[in-house]
Amino acid sequence: MVRVLLPLSKLLDEQVVTKRTGEKRYVVKSKITVHGFKNIILNGRKPAPKQEIKAQPGTKFLISEDGLHINAVPDTMEVLAELDSTDLYELYMEMSGATNE
C-alpha cells in the first residue's frame, strides 16, 4: 500500500483516508443514509424511517470509521489515501488522460 496526497474529488466512495496531519481514519462518501426511529414524534411529525442525504456539489462526506462523526468538507480538501498498486495505476491513467489500450 502507498499513501498518496489527493483531493477528495479524485477519490471514489468507500475509500479510506486520513486528514493530512492526522491518523484518524475516515471513509469518503457522496451520500449517507439516516435511519429514523419509527415511534418517535418530533415537532408533531413522525420522521421518515430512512432518509438519504446527498453531498452538495463540490463537497464530500468524511465519516469516521466508528460512524460517530460525519463531516461535510470541500472536495478540494487534500487527504492521504491508501492505494494498492492497481488503484494507483488506475488513478494515474485517469489523471494523465492515457488509455489502457
pLDDT of residue 42: 65
Residue 47 belongs to a domain = yes
Residue 11 belongs to a domain = yes
Residue 24 belongs to a domain = yes
Residue 101 belongs to a domain = no
Three-state DSSP class for residue 97: coil
pLDDT of residue 97: 79
pLDDT of residue 51: 80
pLDDT of residue 37: 65
**What are the angstrom distances between the C-alpha of 76 and each of 38, 64, 90?**
37, 19, 20
Residue 91 belongs to a domain = yes
Q: Residue 63 sits in which domain range?
A: 2-96
pTM, two decimal places:
0.76
Give the pLDDT confidence of 1-44 residue by residue, as tens digits. 888 899 999 998 999 999 988 889 999 999 998 876 666 666 67
Residue 89 belongs to a domain = yes
Separate counts of helices (H) and strands (E) for the chain: 1, 8
Residue 90 belongs to a domain = yes
- Tally of structural domains, the chain: 1
CA distance 18 to 21: 8
Residue 17 belongs to a domain = yes
Give the pLDDT confidence of 44-77 residue by residue, as tens digits. 766 667 788 999 999 999 999 998 999 999 999 9
